[in-house]
Amino acid sequence: MENPFLLAEPDLKARARAIRKRICVMNATAKSGHTGGDMSEVDILVALYFRVMRYRASPLVWHDQFVLSKGHGVGGLYCCFAELGWLRDEELSGYLRDHSRLPGHPVREKLPEYVTVNTGALGHGMSIAAGLALAKRRRTPQGEAGRVFVLTGDGELEEGSNWEAAMAASHFGLDNLVVIVDRNHLQLADATKNIMDIEPLHEKFAAFGMEVHETDGNDPLGLAKLMESFDFQNGKPKAVIAQTIKGRGVSFMENVAAWHHKYPNEDELALALKELDHA
C-alpha cells in the first residue's frame, strides 16, 4: 500500500496554500481558533497526507496512522481533511458550534474514519503513538508493520510524559514511530525559551536513544523526502524537529504570540486571503 496522492512540489505547495485559506475563513467564521499553530503545522500535514503516509483512499483503509498530540491545532487538521475531500467546506462553517462534528480538539467519536484518538490534554499523544507503534510491531512481521506519525507542539514538550514515551520507544526499538515537533518557538503567551527553555532539543532526543533530524518544517517536499529516506528497520524511533513559523503564510500573523489563540476579523481576513492568493 502507498500514498494515493504522491504529489510533487508545486501541487504540495498549492494544497498548503488552499488549506491556509480555509483555516483563515473557518476561524473567522467561528470567531475562535488557534490560528497561529494551525498555520505553522500545515506543511507537515500536507507532507504526510498527500505524500508520505500509506493508506487506501476508497474505501478508506489505514496502513499508517497519525496522532495530533497538539490537539488545539485541530483546525489545521480539519482543513486538511476538507482539502482531501473528506469534509465539505460548508461543514467547516460549523466549526466549534454546538453539536458540530468539528469540536476544538480531535474527537474520534465525531470523525471515526479519520481521527485515530482523542487528544488535547497536552503530553499524551507521544505515549499513545508509542503504544500504537508497539502494537503494530508485535502484530506484523518486521518490515511490514504500519508506521505511526505523531505531531507535537514545542511548548507541549514541557510535559514530562513525552520523555517517558521517548524512553519507552527507544527501549522497545520502535523504528516505526516518527515524532514530529512543530518547532515554531512560540506558545500561548510568549516564546518557549522564555517560559520553559526546551533546548538543546536535538541532544535531548538523542540522549533518549532516538534518531534525530532537523529540517525546514514549512517545506513540504523537503520534509516528505526526509521521511521517505528513513530506515524503518534499524531499531530506532525517529524524531523530526521541524523548524516552522507560527502564523506561516500571512505576514501580520507570523512570529506573533498573540495569534496562538486569535481569529482574523473581517479586515484581517481580507488581507490574509489576498496575501495567500499571491503567495
**Residue 125 to residue 156: CA distance in whole angstroms:** 10
SS (H, E, C) the chain: CCCCCCCCHHHHHHHHHHHHHHHHHHHHHHCCCCHHHHHHHHHHHHHHHHHHCCEEECCEEECCEEEECCHHHHHHHHHHHHHHCCCCHHHHCCCCCCCCCCCCCCCCCCCCCCCCCCCCCCCCHHHHHHHHHHHHHHHCCCCCCCCEEEEEECHHHHCCHHHHHHHHHHHCCCCCEEEEEEECCECCCCEHHHHHCCCCHHHHHHHCCCEEEEEECCCHHHHHHHHHCCCCCCCCCEEEEEECCCCCCCCCCCCCHHHHHCCCCHHHHHHHHHHHHCC
pLDDT at 208: 97
Domains of the chain plus CATH, in order, are 9-277 (3.40.50.970)
Residue 143: pLDDT above 80? no
pTM over 0.75: yes
pLDDT tens digits, one per residue of 244-259: 999 999 999 999 999 9
pLDDT tens digits, one per residue of 92-118: 999 999 999 999 999 999 999 999 999
pLDDT tens digits, one per residue of 48-87: 999 999 999 889 999 999 999 999 999 999 999 999 999 9
